[in-house]
A and B are shown apart, each in its own frame.
Chain A
Amino acid sequence: MDNRLRILRAERSWSQQDLAERLEVSRQSVNAIETGKYDPSLPLAFRIAELFGLAIEEIFVSPSRPTSRAV
């Protein structure tokens, strides 16, 4: 699933490890989500959204509406 995780992380100058520690997941999980290889569960997607103070759809692009990229 396309997402803005890498951009949001870069804006805060966080490494993948920094973000992983904040989310209490492994660095490889962050990498897999950022590169779209793994879609997080709803609880993890909420944790990510809450960490950045955004709505889920502002971070992740809906697969059913691929043209409406996350803002």
Chain B
Amino acid sequence: MTRSPAAKRYNRRVIRLSLLYALFLVIAVSGFNRGLLHGLVAYFAAVLPALPIIGVFGAIGLYLVEEQDEYVRMLMVRQSLWASGFALSIATVWGFLESFDLVNHVDAYYIAVLWFGGLGFGACVNKLTIGSAAGQG
């Protein structure tokens, strides 16, 4: 399997952002557990782990801009659209279930988790409908 230079850059960015996410999460959790964070600092620390995740969305956008292979780019766009539909659909259904007290509350950041899972779902759809998925050489 050969990866394009844009795909390699994307992988490197996502690895760096994942490490940053782990670091920021540890800082925020330990800070709140020890009762060290108050006022504006608490808000900043709570948002800190979200920033690398937003960065991953940006990395996907950069990948779509930098990828020179139009077919592979099209596969990734399709994957992202499936991921968006997947995550938003589940979030919408869950929201109504939750509003009628039929299911427990789930923190909103799980929508991002669903979206990343949806990328895998989109790759499967690409494989089933077109016969290939982004990243295959």
Contact = CB atoms under 8 A, between A and B. Distances in A.
Nearest to A23: B69
A40 B71 CA distance: 8
Contacts of B68: 24-25
B137 A25 contact: no
B69 A25 contact: yes
A26 B69 contact: yes
Contacts of A44: 70
Interface residues of B, number: 13
Contacts of B74: 38
Contacts of A26: 2, 4, 69, 71-72, 137
B72 to A, nearest CB: 6
B137 A28 contact: yes
Q: On chain A, which size bracket covers the interface?
A: 10 to 19
A42 B87 CA distance: 34
A40 B70 contact: yes
Interface in B85-137: 130-132, 136-137
29 contacts: A25-B68, A25-B69, A25-B71, A26-B2, A26-B4, A26-B69, A26-B71, A26-B72, A26-B137, A27-B137, A28-B71, A28-B72, A28-B132, A28-B136, A29-B69, A31-B132, A32-B71, A32-B130, A32-B132, A33-B71, A35-B131, A37-B130, A37-B131, A38-B74, A38-B130, A40-B70, A40-B71, A41-B70, A44-B70
Interface of B: 2, 4, 68-72, 74, 130-132, 136-137
Interface of A: 24-29, 31-33, 35, 37-38, 40-41, 44
